[in-house]
């Protein structure tokens, strides 16, 4: 498990450890998509001229490349009611602003926007039923929670207070 792993402080090395956990513990389509994305992210980070420092600009460039790589394996686009509805605004906002908090908030807005959205991909399409329209897509919501935590924001309180 990751909690028992000592992190090195090197983004590529530590992210590679996260990839190992994802590949060995996450099942289903989401697990595969996360593994593809994170492996692409590791590769993209290795390609960045970091000079030892993973700045928001470096992360943004690597995330953009990893998103493009993910697009080879899934047709999911914003508006399909998938985790991409949270991922895309995070990547785009981080790329344009360099601000992780703004990017995390954009991700949450994207996830919230999946409420009422008709799914064209993902589990909701083949499970069917009623009631899912009142809640955000679980994959998008979970990813936005991750991004909020990454930004040091706590979503359970109004205004996403600092944790």
Query: What would the pLDDT profile of 57-74 be if each residue is shown by its tens digit?
Result: 888 999 999 999 999 998
What is the distance between the alpha carbons of residues 37 and 71, in angstroms, rounded to a whole number? 9
Q: What is the pTM of this model?
A: 0.82
What is the distance between the alpha carbons of residues 148 and 42, in angstroms, rounded to a whole number? 21
Q: Are residues 95 and 46 in the same domain?
A: no
CA torsion, ordered 138, 143, 148, 150, to nearest 10 deg:
150
34, part of any domain: yes
111, part of any domain: yes
Q: Are residues 82 and 150 in the same domain?
A: yes
What pLDDT does residue 159 have?
53
125, part of any domain: yes
Range of the domain at 36: 8-54
Maximum Cα–Cα distance across the chain: 52
67, part of any domain: no
What pLDDT does residue 18 have?
86
66, part of any domain: no
DSSP character for 9?
S
Name the stretches of the chain with pLDDT < 70: 1-5, 50-52, 122-132, 156-163
Q: What's the structural domain count of the chain?
A: 2
Q: Are residues 30 and 93 in the same domain?
A: no
What pLDDT does residue 128 have?
63
Q: Are residues 150 and 105 in the same domain?
A: yes
Q: Are residues 147 and 101 in the same domain?
A: yes
């Amino acid at each position: 498990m990751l909690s028992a792993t000592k992190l090195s402080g090197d983004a590529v090395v530590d992210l590679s450890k996260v990839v190992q956990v994802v590949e060995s513990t996450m099942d289903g389509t989401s697990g595969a998509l996360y593994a593809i994305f994170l492996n692409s992210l590791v590769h993209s980070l290795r390609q960045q001229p970091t000079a030892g420092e993973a700045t928001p600009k470096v992360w943004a460039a690597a995330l953009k490349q990893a998103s493009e790589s993910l697009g080879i394996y899934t047709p999911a686009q914003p508006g399909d009611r998938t985790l991409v509805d949270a991922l895309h605004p995070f990547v785009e906002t981080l790329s344009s602003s360099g601000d992780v908090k703004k990017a995390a908030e954009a991700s949450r807005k994207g996830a919230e926007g999946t409420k009422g959205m008709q799914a064209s991909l993902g589990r909701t399409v083949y499970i069917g039923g009623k009631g899912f329209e009142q809640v955000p897509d679980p994959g998008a919501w979970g990813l936005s929670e991750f991004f909020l935590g990454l930004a040091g924001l706590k979503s359970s309180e109004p205004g996403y207070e600092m944790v």
